[in-house]
Amino acid sequence: MMDVVLIDAGGANIGSVRYAFERLGVAARFSADAEEIASAGRVVLPGVGAAANGMSRLRELGLVECVRDLKQPLLGVCLGMQLLYEGSEEGDVECLGLLQGRVRRLQGGPALRVPHMGWNTLQAVRPDALLEGVRADAQAYFVHSYAAPVTDDALATCTHGETFAAVVRRGNRMGAQFHPERSAAVGARLLENFLDMPA
């Protein structure tokens, strides 16, 4: 049985992420214990809310260095993905620094509401095992007001007035800006691919 830990840093979506793994036959568990997180086979950093609050919670729990030092596959979801970057405009906060770049507020426009909420198309940038079996024009479900830049780490992008990173990977550090737990077959496939990653 795959050993999956969800970092319990106060993300509002943590229960639904655990249920998404349960649908795949995996009993993921919550933990805020650095030793337990460090020894897990797979680690997920969920998150909904503000970057400053998310980083503050990780600091309070003494988990910043723990997450930075992880060698096993790590998946950030929504805010959890944004926290993998060097920093965020949201609260002008320093983040984990595992991926290069700074998260910025979506600009929106007269016909483009922020937050970006609902189904939108993924645009594949380069092939990767994390997106194996996901169509190049697949739809995923987003809810966010801030977004990561398109860098060499981007596997797929999405456009809402501007183009931003939707799925990223650098080695064993991965992220999805969309919500896999709310993205039907596309989200399930991404989580399955994450589970299949070599440690």
Active site residues: 78, 179, 181
Longest dimension (CA), the chain: 49
DSSP state of 112: B
Helix residue ranges per DSSP H, 24-157: 34-38, 51-60, 64-69, 79-82
Q: Which of 51, 142, 154 is nearest to 101 (CA)?
A: 154
Quote the Cα angle for 140-143-148, to 5°.
Answer: 85
CA distance 158 to 76: 17
